[in-house]
Structures are given as structure tokens and as C-alpha cells.
Amino acid sequence: MKGCVFCKVIQKKIPAQIVYEDKESLAFLDAFPCSVGQTLVIPKKHSCYIFDIEDRDYAKLLLKTKKIAKAIDKSLKPIRTIVVVEGFMIDHVHVRLHPCYERHLSLKPLEPRPSEKELEKTAMKIRSALN
């Protein structure tokens, strides 16, 4: 969809720290994370509402989300990883994975924001846990 930030990430028009990609989906670190390793998992096919996507695509997206969450758990060692599905801030279906390092998760963006080098290092850890 024209103007969609996530579609631009998929098309590599906007840089992102990609941790996983296949023909149907993309997972990348959130540029404005609330916790280290916060990852977005998105379908490559643009859709605004998760319950409008085909059942098969929905199941695949959630199974890939589980795979990414397990890699986050293995590589970053949070207490657990929480999943949130939303679609208001950016009008493209996205599953947000929040690694929780404390029992209470703050939903305020980290300050200072992680540098590109820090994001790259975190992405590399998660990617290596996927293999």
C-alpha cells in the first residue's frame, strides 16, 4: 500500500534490523522499543486488520511469531516474551513481541533510544538463535 511505512520496510526502502524473513513475512527490531529486543512480525501482504487475513496466513504468521519469540527467549534471556497484536499506530498488521526483563513491562519507549549499533548487535543475537 502506498505510503505504508511497513510496506516500505518490506521493499527495503526504509532500513531496518531484520531478524527473520521469508516469502510471506518479515520480523525486525522495533525502532522505538519499550524493551531491548522488541520485535515486530509482519505479513508481507498488506492488510490493515488481522482478522481480515486468510486463516492459513493468520496461522502461519502466529507460528512464525512463536519461532521469533523462542529465539528472543534463547538469545536475550527475558523472564518471558509478551505478544501484542495491534494495527492503529501503523495501518499494517503487526505482531509486537515485548521481551520482559522485569515482572512489570513499561510501555514507554526506552530512553535513550538504542543506537543503530546496539540494534544491530541485538538483531544479530536473535538471528543466531534462529539457526
Beta strands in the chain (DSSP E): 18-21, 25-29, 39-43, 80-86, 94-100
What is the phi/psi pair of residue 44, to 5°?
-75, -25
Residue 35: DSSP 8-state: S
Task: Give the amino acid at 37.
Answer: G
From residue 85, alpha-carbon distances to 6, 15, 51, 53, 97 in Å are 15, 22, 11, 13, 9
pLDDT at 36: 95
pTM attached to this predicted model: 0.90
Task: Look up cell 487475513; give the residue.
Answer: 53
94 is catalytic: yes
Integer Cα distance of 124 and 74 in angstroms: 13
Per-residue pLDDT of the chain (131 residues; tens, 9 = 90+): 678 999 999 999 999 999 999 999 999 999 999 999 999 999 999 999 999 999 999 999 999 999 999 999 999 999 999 999 876 788 999 999 999 998 877 778 888 999 999 999 999 999 999 97
Which of these is catalytic: 92, 94, 98, 104?
Answer: 94
pLDDT at 53: 94
